[in-house]
Amino acid sequence: MEQSKGRGVSHYLYDLERSGRPTRYSLARQAIDEAIALSLNIEEFKSELRQRGYSYRFDPQRKYWTITPPGGRKPVRIHQLGSDYSRESIEKRIYDNDPEIRSQRLIRQPFRPNQYKLRRRIDRIMMRSGLERMYLRYCYELGILPKYRQNPMRLHILLKEDLLKCDQYSEQAKLLSKYHVNTDEDLSKLMDEIRTKMTGLSDERNELRLKARRALPEEETEKARSDARELTAAIRELRHELKVCGDVAERSGHVRENLETIDRDRQRERDR
């Protein structure tokens, strides 16, 4: 992160995009491209942006058009996204579209149940329970499980901002699976166990450090120092796990609400 401060935010975002990681700029380009592809005029373009959770300011009196991502506060000037995203370029791309896209947009694919039963990854996930299942499913919806690039046209609008935190959600899911955490009580108990273990290791490390200061043979002194370094690494790992547990406690409500919304939206789509 220190490197990003020195080089500037724009360079940092550019590096993220080159590595394939989503940024607010890449997500904005994706939303604009999707909206343009389904629009024949600016009003339809605005409607498509709204469906993707974006707000906008296309005031003709303002020099720049801006869009604001879902849940975001800071708008993005679209001309900063590249030459294909200037006001003039967007208007040209829209007006160059084939009128057939309007009929394509109105086509609704009917829901068809599976005609055969194959064990899928999501089936194995749903066999889990509690927080572990919830986080594994959230990672599945984000495209982290299995390891494939998520199709942006199928990704629910609520999840697009969380793509920026996909590594964090993946780490949280792994920890819940590692310790088989199913309930908030399990999570609280795990945090208490981690704190207790950290205290024990810290006391043990202090004893080794005191031993290393005594007038002992060099071999014993070096052994005490080496053991103390190993305990420091173990304490650091436990401290990180405790932080991940705290993140789970803080975000589990957000994850639960998003999944409930996704399920309701999909059910409405099937009922049409």
Tens-place pLDDT, residues 37-52: 888 888 888 888 888 8
Q: Which residues contact 249 (CB under 8 A, 6 or more apart)?
A: 184, 187, 191
Q: Give me the residue spans of the domains in the chain.
A: 2-106, 119-272
- As a whole number of angstroms, the distance between CA 150 and CA 143 comes to 5
- In terms of pLDDT, which residue wins out, 134 or 166? 134
> Structure pTM?
0.51
Compute the mean pLDDT over every residue in the chain, rounded to the nearest whole number.
Answer: 77
Helix (H, G, I), strand (E, B) or coil at 25: helix
pLDDT reading at 200 higher than 90: yes
Residue 195: pLDDT above 70?
yes
Average pLDDT over residues 195-213: 93
Contacts of 245 (CB under 8 A, 6+ apart): 175, 187, 190, 191, 194
In angstroms, rounded to a whole number, what is the distance separating the alpha carbons of residues 78 and 161? 18
Residue 229, pLDDT > 90, answer: yes
Up-side HSE of residue 130: CA atoms within 13 Å toward CB? 14
- Residues 15-38: tens digit of each pLDDT: 544 545 567 788 888 888 888 888
* Consecutive H or E run containing 56: strand 55-57
Separation CA 169–CA 139 (nearest Å): 7
Evaluate whether 77 touches 64 at the Cβ level (below 8 Å): yes
